[in-house]
Chain A
């Protein structure tokens, strides 16, 4: 009885635990630091964007979380279990970056191998494969050899393989890198579909606009550390507006910094953190100083703006 209660309690704890939690997770290759110390939490049921410049340690972090490489420091938990726990991988799907499947196998055969490795019931394989092929738009091509697939089709196959068995957590490492705009749109739809089904999605991507379109929460890393994390609303709180101005001397242009965080490329003056109701005040001030105003473009801060800003602060 006690044992049963303990198991129920453990199951409840696991279900309540975040999809991913890690504290100072690090990986060193000799003197090279691949990941300096990753500390972050990814709640369950969300689409989590993982961003960073090349060499920031994104793929290393994914491999560590999947238990594919051993950490040299820190700790991490995936679905409530320590990273590297083999049985937990039954609940995890993974699309690696830049992979190539065996060209001499058919798409269906690749999927059946993964069904077997994922320990899915044999009787469910046909249904799982059919469902996954349908989801990624490869229905009718499953019996063709992988060598006849285009890059985009291979990418779709990889996504389908990652989704076999309806995993609780899916890692997608650059899922749209080989896809055309239609394919990218389809992947966004798949991610939306996964979120609606309660699946947690860890999305590693360079395409910030895509991340902005599908993610609930993001973590930005640089030099192997998280430099910002939060929901998109939390990260993109500032408003910005740009003004095309001439006829002001440098001192007058500088004086506009009293309205917000100023960026000036000589033609456009960008004021960040400028509330929309203050835009007319800035226009009045420019006119009062004798400046000539050609354009006013209010704009929201994009994830790319924020990303570049944070990277600038970090360097």
Chain B
């Protein structure tokens, strides 16, 4: 059975290594720039015309506008998180094996399972920290600029972080067998395919096409990133916007920046099963890997 102490050691090492890499420093700086720039943009939303020169628009219209712009900004953060988590996770295990670093680490009194779980935990902590940090900053700025706070901010952070967690978990699994480039390329391609799969599924709902609906469901099951993204979108929408979308009918389901319902409990259970299966597969794959 894996022990907690070595898992925490590898988790700490993973975060430590990542914090020294220029990629993460660059992402942190760019995030601050984006938060500042979007803060200015949100401030402009308060006025009907000109840079702060026109009359202020109504509160309901402002909330709807702020929510829609926030969804697009959140998508930007979600995509950055997806890219970052894959780029950091993909070379983690394969890099250690290629550099013979894994030999030195695993010759210590540790199990391979502890190494894998520690790497996963460290990456998970990074993803959650980034998702929470960037979301809290952005939400504070939006609140300051427009007075709008999305109805479910905690769920928003959880679901956006979930997208990153899903992608790096897949990248880590592939990293046990493939070189860094391939282990990163495949999850990103799957991410975009799942995105398209979600849109196709929504289009199927709009026109009642069972094949397209099935495509959307299968894509959500194989890689639940789009399902999690839709859940995050729902967490950002004010009730008035949800009501408008519901009134618009099923056609809205194809639009990837709108959601009429929160995630079904069965989907959330599936996400938990998906994580368990992927981590189990990663442990099995690395146990059998010749290093």
Contact = CB atoms under 8 A, between A and B. Distances in A.
Nearest to B290: A69
Nearest to B103: A96
A98 interface: yes
B103 A114 contact: no
A94 B109 CA distance: 12
A99 B98 CA distance: 9
Interface stretch (B12-20, B42-50, B53-61, B142-150): B12-20
Given A86-B111, A104-B20, A105-B20, A113 B101 contact: no
Contacts of A86: 109-111
Nearest to A100: B99
B92 to A, nearest CB: 11
B291 interface: yes
Contacts of B16: 105, 109
B72 interface: no
A117 B99 contact: no
B17 A118 contact: no
Contacts of A104: 17, 20-21
A68 interface: yes
A94 B107 contact: yes
Contacts of B9: 113, 116-117
Interface string A42-79: 00000000000000000000010011110000000000
Interface string A82-120: 000011111010111111111011000100011011110
Interface residues on B, range: 20 to 34
A90 B107 CA distance: 9
Contacts of A294: none
A2 B290 CA distance: 42
A129 interface: no
A118 B109 contact: yes
A102 B104 CA distance: 12
Given A100-B100, A102-B17, A118 B291 contact: no
Contacts of B111: 86
Given A69-B290, A116-B9, A90 B101 contact: no
B14 to A, nearest CB: 11
Nearest to A87: B109
Contacts of A105: 16-17, 20
A267 to B, nearest CB: 45
Nearest to A92: B107
Contacts of A114: 104, 108
- Name which of B16, B21, B103, B108 has the most chain A CB atoms within 10 A of its CB: B108
B6 interface: yes
Contacts, number: 69
Contacts of A97: 100
Interface residues of A, number: 33
Nearest to B115: A117
Contact of A96 (B6, B21, B104): B104
Contact of A113 (B13, B99, B100, B103): B13
Interface string B53-94: 000000000000000000000000000000000000000000
B277 interface: no
A161 interface: yes
Contact of A161 (B13, B21, B104, B109): B104
A269 to B, nearest CB: 47
Contacts of A118: 108-109
B101 A101 contact: yes
A68 B101 contact: no
Nearest to A59: B103
A282 B103 CA distance: 55
Contact of A102 (B101, B106, B109): B101
B129 interface: no
Interface string B257-282: 00000000000000000000000000
B115 to A, nearest CB: 10
A66 B13 contact: no
A88 to B, nearest CB: 8
21 contacts: A63-B291, A67-B107, A68-B107, A87-B109, A88-B109, A94-B107, A96-B100, A96-B104, A98-B100, A99-B100, A99-B103, A100-B100, A100-B101, A101-B101, A102-B17, A104-B17, A117-B6, A117-B109, A119-B109, A158-B104, A171-B107
Q: Which 3 pairs from chain A and chain B are nearest by CB?
A: A104-B20, A117-B108, A99-B100
Given A98-B100, A105-B20, A117-B109, 19 more contacts: A29-B290, A63-B103, A68-B106, A69-B290, A69-B291, A87-B109, A90-B109, A94-B104, A95-B104, A96-B103, A96-B104, A99-B104, A102-B17, A104-B20, A109-B16, A114-B104, A118-B108, A119-B109, A158-B104
